[in-house]
Amino acid sequence: MCGIVGCIGNRSVTPIIVESLKRLEYRGYDSAGIATLNGAEIDITKTAGKISDLENILSLTNDACVGIGHTRWATHGIPSSTNAHPHTDCSGSFAVVHNGIIENFQALKDELTSKGHIFSSDTDTEVLAHLCEDCYNGDLEHAVREALLRVEGSYAIAVISDNEPEVIIAARKDSPLIVGLGDGENFLASDIPAIRKYTNKIIYIDDGEIVRLTRDNVTISTLQGVNVEKTVTIADGSIQDAERGGYEHFMLKEIHEQPKALRETMEDRLCELEGSIDFKELRLLEDEIKNIESITIIACGTSYHAGILGKYALEDLLRIPVKVEYSSEFRYNNFLSGKRSLAICISQSGETADTLAAMNEAKSQGYLTLAITNVVGSTITRKADEILLTKSGIEIGVAATKTFTAQILTLYMFGVYVARLKKLIDVETSRNIITSMKAVPGLIESLLDNISNIEKTSSRICEADCCYFIGRGLSYPIALEGALKMKEISYIKAEGFPAGELKHGPLALITADTPVIAIVPKGKTYYKTLGNIKEVKARNAFVIAIANASDDEIVKYVDSVIKIPDVDELFSPMLAAVALQLLAYYAAKYLGAEIDQPRNLAKSVTVE
């Protein structure tokens, strides 16, 4: 996690770095800092807290034209101004910002301490500054290179030194880093939106590469010193995508963007008449995909919940075994893949370290790997055998919303695509699925037009210490997701269960007035879930049902109903998910929580 930024030009960089850090704040927001160089010496300002806290103590009149900045999600050492980046060496001549983890930092720290270096923070990063000091022989790039050859772990770093005030050196291994090319100025950052305001000319830095940035020039070489020619990419997406656009929070904006995100994810891919899905990007792999005999879906958090839905849909359509694994657990499994196994790795950010590590493991076990991600150019897109993009636009709120429903859609599209390749479903069946699929964005729009009831219901949940989400079949992963959304942004204790499992233990948690949110759309599991609702009602729980608009019966069995539009059963999870995102959003708002930046979390989890 953490976000880094750097800028070298002919104007004051402090406001640019602050602005860029604000756009990276979703990556970590427990402390922040900036180092600038005005030719003679390095000036550092850092603090615990958010970028706004940093801004309050910064001198925005500082006219330095070279600088680096950092927003932190603590791994080594508590969030404090001492542990905030940039970190410096003993002499204060080298300043470093870092995203990643230096795994052998303790051994390096012991060695450097025995040589007389004095450390002032608890971080792993500080060893990099001291290593640069130790390796410096009059060439900053050489010192960074030498330092990096000694470290194990992951990093995206930027280094400045008052010995060479006209250069920034940066490097990457397993943490994202891009360079932005300007006119008489150049930038680097953890992602494109951070610097999109200043340039759209982007170079993606790859693992093992080191960058030398001056005002007028950018050179890239490997850690071993071999020059590398890179392609300049023109970034799409407007700057407004990263603005709140009149909404109080990014999360609310992103919930409302779901119809658009889904339409764009479907665009040019649905062939309703032919009853087929056109994934042009998969054409070269068609034969391999046609012969797949098993699938493992690998993901974390919300993406994992999309994966469970994918399992249900893919098993149903393809009649082959589909497993879902947490990325962080995948490597501890002792099974081997079959010869014709596909690993679908889902990560909206494309940077989640656990998922990247699991994907590497899957590759080494012989899986064909397919990534589903929302971020063009992210690490996963460059490591997977093939990719399917969700086209949700940038998601800033830490709680995933529009990317979740787009992941479900993409998994469903993939299911229909493979089922047609394998000739497992006929044209009419797939045409019907596609027709229902196309209707989903419009149905979400009508749900979003009637949210006052959801807002009102959320206040009832806020009165409780805990709440439970239940569902069966396709509604079970939505119960998990509803609970995750609730706990991560409102901090109300929330758990999701398969409705049928309640009586095997969790029922003991239900006391009078405990809110139980039951996802009970019409379909295969309706009556069984109704039975489970009766069980919790018999224990005096306060039951809120997420039910179809045409379900006039449900009101007899529950205390409150949130209606979602009628839709083919396969797609009701997408509508229920939107309702539950809103429920969590309004509960969190009612409690005054920091919705877009919940405590202890970050959007991109780039550490394992």
Residue 218 or 479 with smaller CB distance to ligand F6R: 479
SS3 category, 292? coil
Our answer to whether residue 2 is catalytic in this structure is yes
C-alpha–C-alpha distance, residues 590 and 349, integer Å: 29
Q: For residue 405, state whether it binds ligand F6R (rule: CB under 6 A).
A: no
Q: Which of 262, 247, 259 lies closest to 585, judged by CA?
A: 247
C-alpha–C-alpha distance, residues 565 and 452, integer Å: 15
**Piece of the chain touching ligand F6R by CB under 6 A; list 201-209, 343-351, 492-500, 520-528:** 343-351
Minimum separation from the CB atom of position 101 to ligand F6R (A): 17
Q: For residue 301, state whether it binds ligand F6R (rule: CB under 6 A).
A: yes
Minimum separation from the CB atom of position 345 to ligand F6R (A): 9
Residue 314 or 607 with smaller CB distance to ligand F6R: 607
C-alpha–C-alpha distance, residues 600 and 491, integer Å: 11
Residue 326 or 557 with smaller CB distance to ligand F6R: 326
Q: For residue 352, state whether it binds ligand F6R (rule: CB under 6 A).
A: yes
> Could you say which of 2, 132, 135, 467 is catalytic?
2
Q: Which of 12, 71, 347, 572 binds ligand F6R (CB under 6 A)?
A: 347
Minimum separation from the CB atom of position 109 to ligand F6R (A): 30
Minimum separation from the CB atom of position 232 to ligand F6R (A): 26
The token duo for 590 is 């009612």
Minimum separation from the CB atom of position 2 to ligand F6R (A): 15
**Contacts for 301 with CB less than 8 Å, ≥ 6 apart:** 400, 484
C-alpha–C-alpha distance, residues 237 and 257, integer Å: 15
H, E, C per residue of 159-176: EEECCCCCCEEEEEEECC
Residue 296 or 349 with smaller CB distance to ligand F6R: 349
User: What's the Cα-to-Cα distance from 208 to each of 148, 169, 205, 519, rounded to whole Å?
Assistant: 9, 13, 9, 48
Q: Which of 156, 213, 400, 486 binds ligand F6R (CB under 6 A)?
A: 400
Q: For ligand F6R, what does the binding mask look like between residues 216 and 245, x meaning CB under 6 A? A: ------------------------------
Reply yes or no: is the peptide bond before residue 15 cis, omega within 30 of 0: no
Residue 300 or 433 with smaller CB distance to ligand F6R: 300
Identity of the residue numbered 578: V
Our answer to whether residue 345 is catalytic in this structure is no
Reply yes or no: is the peptide bond before residue 86 cis, omega within 30 of 0: yes
**Piece of the chain touching ligand F6R by CB under 6 A; list 116-124, 199-207, 260-268, 346-354:** 346-354
**Piece of the chain touching ligand F6R by CB under 6 A; list 32-40, 146-154, 217-225, 349-357:** 349-357
Residue 89 or 488 with smaller CB distance to ligand F6R: 488
C-alpha–C-alpha distance, residues 532 and 237, integer Å: 46
> Could you say which of 253, 402, 563, 603 is catalytic?
603
Q: For ligand F6R, what does the binding mask look like between residues 105 and 144, x meaning CB under 6 A? A: ----------------------------------------
**Contacts for 155 with CB less than 8 Å, ≥ 6 apart:** 98, 99, 100, 102, 128, 148, 171, 172, 173, 174, 175
Answer positive or negative: Cα dihedral of 121, 126, 132, 134.
Answer: positive
Q: For residue 300, state whether it binds ligand F6R (rule: CB under 6 A).
A: yes
DSSP for 118-135, please give it.
---SS-STHHHHHHHHHH
Q: For residue 410, state whether it binds ligand F6R (rule: CB under 6 A).
A: no
- Quickly list H helices, 226-378: 250-256, 258-266, 286-290, 301-318, 327-330, 353-364
User: What's the Cα-to-Cα distance from 534 to each of 527, 538, 541, 543, 557, rounded to whole Å?
Assistant: 11, 6, 10, 9, 7
The token duo for 200 is 């759209």
Q: For residue 302, state whether it binds ligand F6R (rule: CB under 6 A).
A: yes
C-alpha–C-alpha distance, residues 4 and 99, integer Å: 7
SS3 category, 519? strand
Residue 193 or 301 with smaller CB distance to ligand F6R: 301
Cβ–Cβ under 8 Å, residues 412 and 433: yes
C-alpha–C-alpha distance, residues 494 and 485, integer Å: 9
Minimum separation from the CB atom of position 287 to ligand F6R (A): 29
Residue 370 or 530 with smaller CB distance to ligand F6R: 370
**Piece of the chain touching ligand F6R by CB under 6 A; list 63-71, 268-276, 347-355, 516-524:** 347-355
Binding-site residue total for ligand F6R (CB under 6 A)?
A: 14
Q: Which of 303, 392, 475, 606 binds ligand F6R (CB under 6 A)?
A: 303
**Piece of the chain touching ligand F6R by CB under 6 A; list 58-66, 283-291, 300-308, 539-547:** 300-308
C-alpha–C-alpha distance, residues 517 and 483, integer Å: 9
Q: For residue 488, state whether it binds ligand F6R (rule: CB under 6 A).
A: yes
Residue 154 or 355 with smaller CB distance to ligand F6R: 355
Residue 298 or 575 with smaller CB distance to ligand F6R: 298
Q: For residue 605, state whether it binds ligand F6R (rule: CB under 6 A).
A: yes
**Piece of the chain touching ligand F6R by CB under 6 A; list 144-152, 298-306, 317-325, 555-563:** 298-306
Q: For residue 355, state whether it binds ligand F6R (rule: CB under 6 A).
A: yes
The radius of gyration of the chain's CA atoms, rounded to the nearest angstrom, is 25
Cβ–Cβ under 8 Å, residues 453 and 290: no
Q: Where are the beta strands (DSSP E) in 481-524?
A: 493-498, 515-519
Q: For residue 584, state whether it binds ligand F6R (rule: CB under 6 A).
A: no
Residues that bind ligand F6R (CB under 6 A): 300-303, 347-349, 352, 355, 399-400, 484, 488, 605
Active site residues: 2, 603
